[in-house]
């Protein structure tokens, strides 16, 4: 696969991924304040928690990219982040603790995603034409995010503020969260088309991550 073909696969991923993310990204804070009635203090604390986990996990992801390559990290984090919007279906004004789990998962996965995406942005850009490629990558991501954000806002404004389904009461933003989760899952499939010379196998990387995570879990005392 030529460098241009590799860059094209990454370009389509950025366009689809940022579009999928934009369907929900602009509405999480509003949902906390308007529907979950958390108040500004808890909303701000959630943002700080996400940022803190992202900073703490960054060195680990950096070492993973150096050892296994950016592609396996991008694949794992993209599929993991696809589940994040769906987690926003769980909290209610009287049941807020899922926000803590979401902050930890979101912060960790976005930390890895950002490092892997940045690494691939430079790797897939020919040195002589790097400024042009970087501009194209940024434009694709920004364009997808802007258009999808506007469409999401229009859709939310035409949906009923509250509706009943499957015995539960839902808000219009829940529809956007679910659509974003599905769109992110579809966009994540495009990571499988990205090629990175020298990168390790994705399955081998996932197995190592799962084993490492399992080793961190507390074990039962013998007997």
Give 17-26 pLDDT, tens digit per residue: 999 999 999 8
CA–CA gap between residue 64 and residue 60 (Å, rounded)? 6
pLDDT at 49: 96
CA–CA gap between residue 16 and residue 145 (Å, rounded)? 9
CA distances from 98 to 64, 112, 148, 214, 220 (A): 28, 21, 26, 21, 25
pLDDT > 70? residue 222: no
Q: DSSP label at 191?
A: G
CA distances from 193 to 95, 140, 222 (A): 40, 17, 46
Residue whose pair of structure tokens reads 């073909």 in the numeric block: 5
**Contacts for 9 with CB less than 8 Å, ≥ 6 apart:** 190, 193, 194, 195
CA distances from 210 to 2, 214, 216 (A): 33, 6, 10
pLDDT category, 221, cuts 50, 70, 90? very low
Span 165-197, pLDDT tens digits: 877 788 899 999 999 999 999 999 999 999 888
CB 106 within 8 A of CB 50: yes
pLDDT > 60? residue 92: yes
pLDDT at 167: 76
Give the chain's mean pLDDT.
89
CATH class for domain 3-216?
Answer: mainly alpha
Domain edges within the chain = 3-216
Span 105-117, pLDDT tens digits: 999 999 999 999 9
């Amino acid at each position: 696969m030529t460098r241009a073909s590799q860059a094209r696969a990454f370009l389509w991923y950025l366009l689809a991924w940022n579009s999928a993310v934009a369907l929900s990204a602009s509405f999480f804070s509003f949902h906390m304040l308007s529907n979950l009635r958390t108040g500004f203090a808890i909303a701000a604390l959630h943002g700080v928690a996400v940022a803190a986990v992202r900073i703490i996990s960054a060195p680990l992801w950096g070492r993973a990219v150096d050892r296994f390559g950016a592609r396996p990290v991008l694949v794992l984090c993209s599929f993991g982040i696809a589940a994040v919007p769906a987690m926003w279906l769980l909290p209610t004004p009287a049941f807020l603790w899922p926000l803590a789990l979401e902050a930890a998962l979101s912060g960790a996965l976005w930390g890895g995603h950002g490092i892997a995406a940045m690494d691939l942005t430079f790797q897939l850009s020919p040195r002589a034409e790097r400024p042009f490629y970087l501009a194209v990558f940024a434009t694709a991501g920004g364009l997808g995010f802007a258009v999808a954000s506007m469409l999401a806002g229009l859709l939310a404004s035409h949906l009923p503020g509250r509706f009943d389904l499957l015995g539960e009461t839902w808000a219009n933003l829940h529809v956007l969260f679910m659509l974003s989760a599905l769109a992110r899952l579809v966009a994540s499939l495009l990571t499988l088309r990205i090629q990175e010379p020298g990168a390790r196998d994705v399955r081998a990387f996932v197995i190592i991550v799962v084993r490492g995570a399992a080793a961190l879990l507390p074990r039962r005392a013998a007997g």
